[in-house]
Amino acid sequence: MVAARREAVSDKLPGGKPGIGNVAHFPAAGAIRTVGVVGAGQMGNGIAHVSALAGLNVRMLDVNDERLKTGVESIKRNLGRQAERGKISAEEMAQTLKRIKTGIDYKLFGECDLVIEAATENEQIKREIFKLLVPQLKPEAILCTNTSSISITRLAAATDRPAKFMGMHFMNPVPVMELVELIRGIATDEATFQTVKEFALKLGKKAAVAEDFPAFIVNRILLPMINEAVYTLYEGVGSVTAIDTAMRLGAHHPMGPLQLADFIGLDTCLAVMHVLHDGLADSKYRPCPLLVKYVEAGWLGRKSGRGFYDYSGETPVPTR
């Protein structure tokens, strides 16, 4: 059924002329030379980092120079850690940084073979980005989104190239985590999928292929666990410290679920839970009221300095 729906996608525009849907006009596998990244935040600069380290030219965009400066500084810091550990040489670090160019004008992406949107987990914001981005892309460019939960088919329909659009969900932190989820929309063709899969492998990642269902694989499993941990706190079953200690030592998780939620960002956690609740219409995905309250208060976790832990001191302190 899935294979049939993909084979049904037309390869040509009306009149038989090659166009955006023409498989022959896709970059050949391995032909990705220049990669664009929309967003210089934690995910965006991580994607730029691994792409440049893999020898690709990178163009990274954000809304202002200050955010770009912060993103580049983060890349330098993370490359520095890799150099200190002997994973890369000082020369590799220098060459990687040279491959990254930044800007605030979408014309920056004019020569990109593949562009990855890595903005916040908000569908309306992503759609607004595509309106600005798509007119600047060359016809054969592939467009990916780093969404962790939103429908790929629906996002693709907001562009001029649904056959050349797919989800590429990186894990955080990108330079460290090995996995990338690859998600096809209903119109994504096989040439796009194969090219993006090979690109992921070139970055040193391992791919898990997911169908286009709310939150895909990782967050379909992970976020309800985090949400349940918040319910456990909300109902007074245990404190922040008790819950995180229990899961670290009892389930051998490297981070407790509330610590992990702070790392991900409580706004992102809430956004994914809304996607699951709305998309699957099951009460088991209802976001915990305490999670909603923290986000309303601006307590978003590490990035805001306060979430389930307070990060203002040298050592994080539970806020409840």
Q: Which residues are catalytic, by number?
A: 148, 169, 181, 219
Q: Are strands 114-117 and 34-38 parallel, antiparallel or unpaired?
A: parallel
Rounded to an integer, what distance in angstroms lies between the CA atom of residue 35 and that of residue 114? 5
Rounded to an integer, what distance in angstroms lies between the CA atom of residue 16 and that of residue 245? 63
Rounded to an integer, what distance in angstroms lies between the CA atom of residue 121 and that of residue 100? 24
Which alpha helices (DSSP H) does the chain contain, by range?
A: 2-7, 42-53, 65-84, 90-98, 123-133, 152-156, 190-202, 218-234, 240-250, 257-264, 266-280, 289-296
Instruction: Kindly write down the DSSP assignment for every residue of 127-166, as one continuous string.
Output: HHHHHHHGGGS-TT-EEEE--SSS-HHHHHTTSS-GGGEE
- C-beta neighbour count of 301 within 10 angstroms: 25
- Tokens 């991900």 sit on residue: 264
Which is nearest to 141 in space by CA: 35, 48, 59, 11?
A: 35
DSSP 301: B
